[in-house]
Amino acid sequence: MENLPFEDLDGDTLHEECGVFGILGHPDASTLTALGLHALQHRGQEAAGLVSFDGKQFHAEKRMGLVGDHYTDPSVLARLPGQMAIGHVRYSTTGETALRNVQPLFAELEVGGIAIAHNGNFTNGLTLRKQLIADGAIFQATSDTEVVLHLIARSKHISSSDRFVDAIRHVEGGYSMLALTRTKLIAARDPIGIRPLVMGELDGKPIFCSETCALDIIGARYIRDVENGEVIVCEIQPDGSISIDSTRDEKVGPERLCLFEYVYFARPDSIVGGRSVYTARKAMGKHLAQEAPVEADVVVPVPDGGTPAAIGYAQASGIPFELGIIRNHYVGRTFIEPTQQIRAFGVKLKHSANRAMIEGKRVVLVDDSIVRGTTSLKIVQMIRDAGASEVHIRVASPMIFYPDFYGIDTPDAERLLANQYSSLDAMCKYIGADSLAFLSLDGLYRAVGGESRNDDAPQFTDHYFTGDYPTRLQDQETPPSTVRKLSVMANYG
Amino acid sequence: MENLPFEDLDGDTLHEECGVFGILGHPDASTLTALGLHALQHRGQEAAGLVSFDGKQFHAEKRMGLVGDHYTDPSVLARLPGQMAIGHVRYSTTGETALRNVQPLFAELEVGGIAIAHNGNFTNGLTLRKQLIADGAIFQATSDTEVVLHLIARSKHISSSDRFVDAIRHVEGGYSMLALTRTKLIAARDPIGIRPLVMGELDGKPIFCSETCALDIIGARYIRDVENGEVIVCEIQPDGSISIDSTRDEKVGPERLCLFEYVYFARPDSIVGGRSVYTARKAMGKHLAQEAPVEADVVVPVPDGGTPAAIGYAQASGIPFELGIIRNHYVGRTFIEPTQQIRAFGVKLKHSANRAMIEGKRVVLVDDSIVRGTTSLKIVQMIRDAGASEVHIRVASPMIFYPDFYGIDTPDAERLLANQYSSLDAMCKYIGADSLAFLSLDGLYRAVGGESRNDDAPQFTDHYFTGDYPTRLQDQETPPSTVRKLSVMANYG
Amino acid sequence: MENLPFEDLDGDTLHEECGVFGILGHPDASTLTALGLHALQHRGQEAAGLVSFDGKQFHAEKRMGLVGDHYTDPSVLARLPGQMAIGHVRYSTTGETALRNVQPLFAELEVGGIAIAHNGNFTNGLTLRKQLIADGAIFQATSDTEVVLHLIARSKHISSSDRFVDAIRHVEGGYSMLALTRTKLIAARDPIGIRPLVMGELDGKPIFCSETCALDIIGARYIRDVENGEVIVCEIQPDGSISIDSTRDEKVGPERLCLFEYVYFARPDSIVGGRSVYTARKAMGKHLAQEAPVEADVVVPVPDGGTPAAIGYAQASGIPFELGIIRNHYVGRTFIEPTQQIRAFGVKLKHSANRAMIEGKRVVLVDDSIVRGTTSLKIVQMIRDAGASEVHIRVASPMIFYPDFYGIDTPDAERLLANQYSSLDAMCKYIGADSLAFLSLDGLYRAVGGESRNDDAPQFTDHYFTGDYPTRLQDQETPPSTVRKLSVMANYG
Amino acid sequence: MENLPFEDLDGDTLHEECGVFGILGHPDASTLTALGLHALQHRGQEAAGLVSFDGKQFHAEKRMGLVGDHYTDPSVLARLPGQMAIGHVRYSTTGETALRNVQPLFAELEVGGIAIAHNGNFTNGLTLRKQLIADGAIFQATSDTEVVLHLIARSKHISSSDRFVDAIRHVEGGYSMLALTRTKLIAARDPIGIRPLVMGELDGKPIFCSETCALDIIGARYIRDVENGEVIVCEIQPDGSISIDSTRDEKVGPERLCLFEYVYFARPDSIVGGRSVYTARKAMGKHLAQEAPVEADVVVPVPDGGTPAAIGYAQASGIPFELGIIRNHYVGRTFIEPTQQIRAFGVKLKHSANRAMIEGKRVVLVDDSIVRGTTSLKIVQMIRDAGASEVHIRVASPMIFYPDFYGIDTPDAERLLANQYSSLDAMCKYIGADSLAFLSLDGLYRAVGGESRNDDAPQFTDHYFTGDYPTRLQDQETPPSTVRKLSVMANYG
């Protein structure tokens, strides 16, 4: 659930690109947006941005760092007046780390300004970017989202919402997107419905956000999920009332949500696709206990991601659940660039073994997923050093073989553990455990949705496990280009 | 276990003053000290300081903020060369927040410099300060520790260790203290042994630190606790070997460790006074289940402090343990001074109800302690809003009636919940729970030490519960003075 | 010559927009550019930017503040590798103060990137901006220069230099502009030649910069002025040699340099339009002494702008030149927003009377120009307070009646002293002097160029004195628009 | 007059330690003090500090950098309430650069606090420091001034003013010192009167400051110089009136002001020892013209220090005064640590030749003094490069042979130009001039005081020229010690 800077160095976690939040017609629009983004912080800790419109002018604030580092400051919120706002938290997949890449992005149109915020990734973003540059567009940064902005600016439609719909018709991939114009809040979700997006309301005013936890923090009511391929346009009318219009591409098939939202990304207290994430994770642990039982003294979660599955495993197996690993919450910011000596302490900066629960015991370690395996290796070593007599690893998701192109930052395929070793035994030996087991794909489907995978029409997208990509991958079909890398490296100090 | 800034505003947690770490004769002295302090960060998040000696010169670095924000930076560590170092993390009880108060403190003596770091509080610090000022001493800041520094500087003994022993004979109260001179690392613990201090070794070099978790992070071995009233002097000899001498005041009685170290302060993976803190907390939960059983569907910890006791309660009662409250780890720094509007969201900035585990359920909420009760009130409300059918609070420690004077920051006595309501029922009603129970004092003694309280010679100090202070309180006997408040308010840059 | 922050508050000085510097083919390109910009700092103290190209990638650095605050830092220069660079110092006329407005500006083109830096102002910038937005261009900031960037990106020509020439054909007004592409350094000057631009060489490599003082600091040789309406394209050839091509619009008439370059903007040691600025200023003082003699004891310059003219006045009149006003060089940065109380000390923060040279004396105060007169008023008061028996003001330029639209920031016309009082006597009375005289327009022409004004074809542009604008003013013909003010207020920070 | 950072690297200027300012009983005490310090900024640009007392509490602010960078900020001044304040600007002679060394220094006494600010240097500071440390005093930093603070704290007298007088009786050397207690402003000057200190008044309230220019900026009236060996105690009485008492050591002889105040340090518009500094400098130039005439075309000052003497030289010789060197005022802060490449540009970063006034001319360069000669060397080269046919250097003070111990930072004796070459010819050759001449000591005495040096009782102190030190030099008689260098190197945040 959480991506701390030091772990990034090892590249042994997956990263979600973004979280979005928007609200229309509420007097506390920017404060509520800041709170919503705070609840979505686990979806991106690199940077956060807000745009509000006060009836006359748009206001934008962008900052590197956490929402709570900046957007609870009265002077910052005072610079974001108005009854409508959208916001964005970001971990970068495409685009270097730079304030220019921080969303929402903004464009001045002939009919007034428009700001957009986007969670996901386009599979034809690079192709579109090249076409736009050839046609005289000037790009400021490297994020895919800027492509949409140019498509909007160049659309021949008049109204901003028509231009928005026109623009997203050109993009392919996974996206949940919000747009803010002088009178409208627009929400859109890609035809497959890969990334989540929900609709709620507070005091009768519409809200859109990535997860329900962002509704909970402000006491807003969940209404429904935005459907795959749907565009919802909310507009403030001259009398102050708000109209809500939904259109949906008729050609779209059934939704296929990203399974990793359940495995790792979404907050456990969120309801995603109508299902409790916490309950799904406990069920993964339960299925795992059934698929891969083991005789042991304690079930120990790898915190915090593995905790719900560990509780499920413990309840299903009857082995006591214990906090055998204690997490240090005080990992500072400069741990991003520690000395080599400190870096060598690796996982111990964040985790420590609780010797009293480990020494002389047979330990079942439950983790949510394994990416490259380097962290697992260190944790097993730490548990052994604390005196465990046996260490059994149980992973609450299948092996990862393929990269993602829809907004999850995956390491190069050859660095994935599953691609480095030909057998489970070899992996187990590498990690140093006494046994190793992964949840089956079918077990995962049943834990999340209650039913086995429908191979003719899979209920979710599971391409990282199966290679079954739900869209074409246009950018992958062309040779790599330097255009994606902005040709100016800029420091605006 | 963790004190986050926003909660501080409510004053509804207790704060430990400090943690200390020191090592002698190791080539990586300052890096190891930084890592040790990182493991002790839960004892003080306000500021951190390190002093090293490189054979020729002392080097000091002090910073507001977390250890990991500063002391993993290669350039900072490079400014702390040498084979001996001591360090300190701090949450302030006496002394305003200012870099001048950040420890270790340093004095130039005729025989060379001395740096000291201190966890605890003196009960005659103010009285001594007045005497020293009358005698021409110039104080730089408001911390008690500076008193010891002046006593050392004015001691008529020659050697720095003799001066140190001479100085601490004048102070009363609770202290675990480290000193660094040109050749020595000195450790001392007060005659009652209120604050913890342990001795370990790495590569044959002596280490002293507040808790064993600071040994674990660097792979050091625990040797023994420094005893109450003991002074241990480690000295580098001309041949590079290290001598270790211990002296102990013969008049001291048995140790009486602070019970709150077990209830709340120490890290669960630490061994304090020879006992696993995690095991003690689980035992508190177990005794609490026996003393105050309740029919319920789920046991939910108030994270993170209540988690071990909740596991104990669940195991003893057979009621399932569930994460019914999800904690947001991304509470930013400026949450220290949020807008009034955001402040109103209070506990929800840090905690959110996991509705799937709460709705329609009878919930046992387990917390480590209740100070003022304002946080409990909000958490009960949050759990009720999430649809709980019943909410029962179980507190894994007795009611708090009295202030501490040994290094724990307690609110004014009249603001303590136990002093505001005359009956348990009244408290329960205030908090809004269906039932409320506290662990008995005897239950706590048995959970921690295995035996009931020996009223003739209590095994621990428990003055916040009983008013039975283990030392005289000299500063409390004199009228309050303005001297404690430094008469210059200074802002250096 | 110098524009200090506190004076800005009074709006009683004129400000030049910018200075530019570029070099091609030199291994120390960015260091030399930084030094050149340092020498041009008097043309803009608000911000500075550099762009270099290292054969593979462009590198950009932008900073608010002085060149010497940032660009002498080894780590900043290390981020600007390559043998070609352009740079810019800026004081803003159009465009708010924001890093996004700091030049050089950069665009990714199909054929590679291009960076541009611009001194001057377009008289049809607003009109072009509106047309571009209607056509789908996305503007990032408010500077006029961005218009050129979009025109380049949209040009149908292939090569970057053809696109550049195509783009500047659309703009009207005053400009001296540099562009950097992957192989070329391009210099262009507007058809009237309002703003200066010179060509030099160092080690055989071409340099372009606003004034010769930027050549002097690096020991480069002055070659010639870029002519009005001329575009010079320097290109690195595959063999490392540099080709230089010049084209010039055949329709352009004779150059008409801005007279204020001589009166105030250019550094006294620069050669502008082939004439020593210092010599021109001394000649202004000499003509002023002839036109407006006065019996007095001392000639005192208003430092530093009035010093050369005061020396000329003293030499011509035989009255001794004395430093009767001492300038305080230590005007700090926060003087930008002082307390009201400190602001009331006004001119005394920067200037103080040297009583020994003033008391009991008849003083001739020589200044370069008078804009609103508020500073003159305070200086006269200060001189009188120091005991002067008489104060005579002599201004080394004519009265200012009209705003500039070519890159000089002038106050609203009605706030100009010359427009507030109908007679010289009334002005003199307002300022509090015993006498007041301005240099005649003809005197100025003769001081600068040696000849009287040719009314049929004036040798210089003198519109602020005469209203005789050398171009049409298209933006002034349309009603004011909000488009110029960017509709998003952004803080990226 | 001005000491810019880059020049410091070359060590080719002298630096004054400090300037002081204090005021008692004025409602705008801290604002007036900030303005006074701004006027004294030339005496120290490294750091500035203010202490005020508001009737209840002292308030202190210390900052590295210029007065105008910090103390005009309303929020900083708001933290300095009260009707009495003292302040200090500093360039360090003893003591490293650190905020802990920035004055005023403060001590809490039994009778209340005291703050002191000091210009000068003690010749027995090190000796006293050792004695105090042996007696248990704890030093925080390395400045001499802290010695006085400890002597005050340890004095057996009761009142703060008696303690102050008691304390300064122990110190030897040069000092002008201010102290602020809860009711008093105290001023003291050393028995020789080496450093200047003047008394003024504004609205009937007493002011003390280093130079009269600090009175001029706030419109205060000069009353008289504090006499050598005098202590003036101003005290607010219960009725709000102010009593002023002066005591003076009867044994003191006549004052001997430091000649360098006239040559270089004091601002030209100040009256020092009753004499106009500007007039004295012009007289130095006049005597120099008489002592060392030369046939030439222009007299060019080395700005800004040499300008008054150059005017005097020009007036006496009849050769025209011209600005042949233009100074760049925009030398940024990071020029302190430029790249080696930029450093090589040396003097050209600050000065440039005005070729129009130099080319083909015989130039007389007038400078105030020569320390190591390295700057002169570069300036001569620059003037020659600009085409001068002859370069004659005239220095308006004698050769410097000896170090100062009274508050002027001089290079090691062997690095002084006068000690490196045995003859004037050799020096001239090293510098590369056609001729070189220094003002005679007698010429300097006559320029400043109107009379020749009275060798039996010199009217000034001139030890850097003659070796005739006006006090004993106790610290120089003992072997060098490491105590002066604080044995802890500290970095606080």
pLDDT band at A412 (very low <50, low <70, confident <90, very high): confident
**Chain C residues whose beta carbon lies within 8 Å of the beta carbon of residue A101:** none
pLDDT digit string (tens) for D282-313? 999 999 999 999 999 999 999 999 999 999 99
pLDDT digit string (tens) for D393-437? 999 999 999 999 998 888 889 999 999 999 999 999 999 999 999
pLDDT band at D15 (very low <50, low <70, confident <90, very high): low
**Chain D residues whose beta carbon lies within 8 Å of the beta carbon of residue C308:** 323
Specify whether A108 is located in the same domain as A63: yes
- What value does the mean pLDDT take over residues A324-338? 78
Least confident of A333-337, B420-424, C444-448, D220-224: A333-337
Q: What is the pLDDT of residue B26?
A: 97
Q: What is the pLDDT of residue C482?
A: 43
Domain boundary among A437, A452, A467: A452
Taking alpha carbons only, the member of B250, B255, B251 closest to residue B225 is B255
Specify whether C169 is located in the same domain as C135: yes
SS3 B16: strand
DSSP, res A321: B
- Asked whether residue A335 carries a pLDDT value surpassing 80, the answer given is no
Contact flag for B and D (3+ C-beta pairs < 8 Å):
yes
Q: What is the pLDDT of residue D362?
A: 98
Q: What is the largest CA-CA distance in chain B?
A: 72
SS3 D161: helix
| Percent of chain A whose predicted confidence (pLDDT) is above 70 | 92
Q: What is the pLDDT of residue A410?
A: 83
Q: Does C20 touch chain A (CB under 8 A)?
A: no
In DSSP notation, A146-196 reads HHHHHHHHH-S-SSHHHHHHHHHTT--EEEEEEEE-SSEEEEEE-TT--S-
Chain A nearest-CA residue for C149: A138
Specify whether B207 is located in the same domain as B318: no
* Residue C293 tokens, joined: 């003699």
Q: Give the per-residue SS3 of chain C.
A: CCCCHHHHHHCCCCEECEEEEEEECCCCHHHHHHHHHHHCHHHCCCEEEEEEECCCCEEEEEEECCHHHHCCCHHHHHCCCCCEEEEEEECCCCCCCCHHHCCCEEEEECCEEEEEEEEEEECCHHHHHHHHHHCCCCCCCCCCHHHHHHHHHHCCCCCHHHHHHHHHCCCCEEEEEEEECCCEEEEEECCCCCCCCEEEEECCEEEEECCCHHHHCCCCEEEEECCCCEEEEEEECCCCCEEEEEEECCCCCCCCEEHHHHHHHCCCCCEECCEEHHHHHHHHHHHHHHHCCCCCCEEEECCCCCHHHHHHHHHHHCCCECCCEEECCCCCHHHHCCCHHHHCCHHHHCEEECHHHHCCCEEEEEECCCCCCHHHHHHHHHHHHCCCCEEEEEECCCCCCCCCCCCEECCCHHHCHHHHCCCHHHHHHHHCCCEEEECCHHHHHHHHHCCCCCCCCCCEECHHHHCCCCCCCHHHHCCCCCCCCCCEEEEEC
pLDDT digit string (tens) for B320-363? 999 999 999 888 766 656 677 777 777 788 999 999 999 999 99
In a domain, B464, yes or no: no
Q: Which domain holds residue D211?
A: 11-255
Burial class of C251 by CB neighbour count within 10 A (0 to 12, 13 to 18, 19+):
exposed
ipTM: 0.93
Q: Does A489 touch chain C (CB under 8 A)?
A: yes
For residue C278, give Cα distances in angstroms to B483, C264, C310, C437, D358.
64, 10, 11, 21, 12
Specify whether C184 is located in the same domain as C333: no
pLDDT digit string (tens) for B407-447? 888 888 999 999 999 999 999 999 999 999 999 999 999 99
pLDDT, greater one: A9 or D150: D150
Q: Does C108 touch chain A (CB under 8 A)?
A: yes
Interface of B with D in 259-278 (CB under 8 A): none
D70 and D102 Cβ atoms separated by less than 8 Å:
no
Using the beta-carbon criterion (under 8 Å), do D57 and B488 form an inter-chain contact? yes
| Percent of chain C whose predicted confidence (pLDDT) is above 90 | 79
Distance CA B54, CA B14 (A): 38
Q: For chain D, give the mean pLDDT.
A: 91
Q: What is the pLDDT of residue B210?
A: 98
Contact flag for B and C (3+ C-beta pairs < 8 Å):
no
Taking alpha carbons only, the member of D102, D98, D45 closest to residue D68 is D45
In DSSP notation, D310-358 reads HHHHHHHH-PPB---EEE-----GGGGS--HHHHTTGGGGTEEE-HHHH
- Asked whether residue A5 carries a pLDDT value surpassing 50, the answer given is no
Taking alpha carbons only, the member of C8, C128, C30 closest to residue C79 is C30
pLDDT band at C144 (very low <50, low <70, confident <90, very high): confident
Using the beta-carbon criterion (under 8 Å), do A108 and C70 form an inter-chain contact? no
SS3 A261: helix
Q: What is the pLDDT of residue C239?
A: 94
Specify whether C241 is located in the same domain as C344: no
In a domain, A391, yes or no: yes
Distance CA B259, CA B257 (A): 6
In a domain, B191, yes or no: yes
Specify whether B331 is located in the same domain as B387: yes
Tens digits of pLDDT across chain B (493 residues): 333 334 443 467 666 679 999 999 999 999 999 999 999 999 998 899 999 999 999 999 999 889 998 998 888 999 999 999 999 999 865 555 567 778 999 998 888 899 999 999 999 999 999 999 999 999 988 788 999 999 999 999 999 999 999 999 999 999 999 999 999 999 999 999 999 999 999 999 999 999 999 999 999 999 999 999 999 999 999 999 999 999 998 889 999 999 999 999 999 999 999 999 999 999 999 999 999 999 999 999 999 999 999 999 999 999 999 999 999 988 876 665 667 777 777 778 899 999 999 999 999 999 999 999 999 999 999 999 999 999 999 999 999 999 999 988 888 899 999 999 999 999 999 999 999 999 999 999 999 999 999 999 999 999 999 999 999 999 988 655 544 455 777 776 5
DSSP, res A27: T
In a domain, A75, yes or no: yes
Distance CA A245, CA D235 (A): 79
pLDDT band at D484 (very low <50, low <70, confident <90, very high): very low
From B146's Cα to the closest Cα of chain D, the distance in A is: 10
Specify whether D172 is located in the same domain as D314: no
pLDDT digit string (tens) for A38-66? 999 999 988 999 999 999 999 999 998 89
- Per-residue buried b or exposed e for B5-19, using 16+ beta carbons within 10 Å of the residue's own CB: bbbbebbbbbbbbbb
Q: Does D316 touch chain C (CB under 8 A)?
A: no
- Indicate which of D33, D215, D326 best probes the interface with C, i.e. most C CBs within 10 Å of its own CB: D326
Q: Does D472 touch chain C (CB under 8 A)?
A: no
Cis peptide before A304 (omega within 30 of 0): yes
Specify whether B232 is located in the same domain as B369: no
Query: How would you classify residue B65: left for phi > 0, otherwise alpha for psi between -120 and 50, otherwise beta?
Result: left
Specify whether B235 is located in the same domain as B300: no
Backbone angles phi, psi at C359, to 5 degrees: -55, 125
In a domain, A268, yes or no: no
In a domain, A488, yes or no: no
Domain boundary among B221, B255, B289: B255
C116 and C145 Cβ atoms separated by less than 8 Å:
yes
From A279's Cα to the closest Cα of chain B, the distance in A is: 7
Chain A nearest-CA residue for B43: A330
In a domain, B363, yes or no: yes
pLDDT band at D482 (very low <50, low <70, confident <90, very high): very low
D172: Cβ–Cβ under 8 A, 6 or more apart, which residues?
A: D122, D123, D124, D471, D472, D474
Interface of C with D in 375-434 (CB under 8 A): 385
Taking alpha carbons only, the member of A101, A91, A116 closest to residue A22 is A116
Using the beta-carbon criterion (under 8 Å), do B51 and D134 form an inter-chain contact? no
Domain of residue A172, CATH code: 3.60.20.10
SS3 A2: coil
Specify whether B73 is located in the same domain as B37: yes
Q: What is the pLDDT of residue A478?
A: 66
Burial class of A169 by CB neighbour count within 10 A (0 to 12, 13 to 18, 19+):
exposed
* Residue C131 tokens, joined: 């047309």
- Asked whether residue C404 carries a pLDDT value surpassing 50, the answer given is yes
Distance CA D134, CA B156 (A): 10
Tell me which chains share at least 3 CB pairs under 8 Å with chain B. A, D
Distance CA A21, CA A34 (A): 9
B144 and B17 Cβ atoms separated by less than 8 Å:
no
Using the beta-carbon criterion (under 8 Å), do B60 and D486 form an inter-chain contact? no
Domain of residue B411, CATH code: 3.40.50.2020
- Asked whether residue D9 carries a pLDDT value surpassing 50, the answer given is no
- What stretches of B91-159 adopt beta strand conformation (E)? 105-109, 112-122
B488 and D57 Cβ atoms separated by less than 8 Å:
yes
Domain boundary among B205, B237, B255: B255
Using the beta-carbon criterion (under 8 Å), do C57 and A489 form an inter-chain contact? yes
DSSP, res A396: S
From A473's Cα to the closest Cα of chain C, the distance in A is: 23
Specify whether C194 is located in the same domain as C75: yes
Specify whether D130 is located in the same domain as D195: yes
Q: What is the pLDDT of residue A26?
A: 97
Catalytic-residue membership of A18: yes
Distance CA D324, CA C72 (A): 27
Domain count, chain C: 2
- Asked whether residue C96 carries a pLDDT value surpassing 90, the answer given is no
In a domain, D466, yes or no: no
pLDDT digit string (tens) for A240-296? 999 999 999 888 999 999 999 999 999 999 999 999 999 999 999 999 999 999 999
Other beta carbons less than 10 A from residue C204's beta carbon = 10
SS3 D395: strand
